[in-house]
Amino acid sequence: MSKPKTLRALKDNEAKAVLRSVRTSPQKLNLVAQQIRGLKVQKALDDLSFSPKRIAGAVRKTLESAIANAENNHNLELDALVVAEAYVGNSLVMKRFRARGRGKSAQVQKPFAHLTIVVREVEETV
């Protein structure tokens, strides 16, 4: 016998994409995620295209993946999509050491982060 099928965690009008272990601090990634929360998908893509932040390209790619998931896997309307959630989580931290004067050393922390983007189809009120 096989295990019972796991129920879908998201609602029927939602789709998500996850970017794992991206090499930036969660604080910097969250600054970009805040810019797109609650925006229509096309406006969010435009904002990310012209953002000066280095990580904006990876966030844009993840948003495009969430849009593709919504369109292909869940048959959602592309024009009615909104970025419902964009949240950041901690990942591992690589610890390195840097040589300092007088034979001492200092620790250098290289953090990683996870990004989850959920897009939702909303009906437009006229």
CATH assignment of the domain containing 87: 3.90.470.10
* pTM above threshold 0.85: yes
CA atoms 59, 64, 69, 71: torsion sign = positive
Classify residue 126: in a domain, yes or no.
no
**4 in a structural domain:** no
* Res 2: pLDDT: 86
* SS3 assignment, position 13: coil
- Domain of 46 in residue numbering reads as 14-121
Structure-block tokens of residue 77: 């309307």
Structure confidence at residue 1 (pLDDT): 76
Q: Is 40 within the bounds of a domain?
A: yes
First to last CA, the chain: 51
Overall domain count for the chain: 1
Amino acid at 38: G
Listed as ranges, residues in the chain with pLDDT below 50 are none
Residue 58 · residue 20 · CB < 8 Å = no
Q: What is the pLDDT of residue 124?
A: 74
Question: Is residue 3 in some structural domain?
Answer: no
**pLDDT computed for residue 126 by the predictor:** 61
What is the C-alpha separation between 101 and 60, in angstroms, rounded? Answer: 42
Residue 123 is predicted with a pLDDT of: 86
Q: Are the C-beta atoms of 10 and 117 separated by less than 8 Å? A: no
User: Is 9 part of any domain?
Assistant: no
Residues 6+ apart with CB under 8 A from 25: 111, 113
> What is the reported pLDDT for 95?
98
Please indicate, yes or no, if residue 104 is contained in any of the structural domains: yes
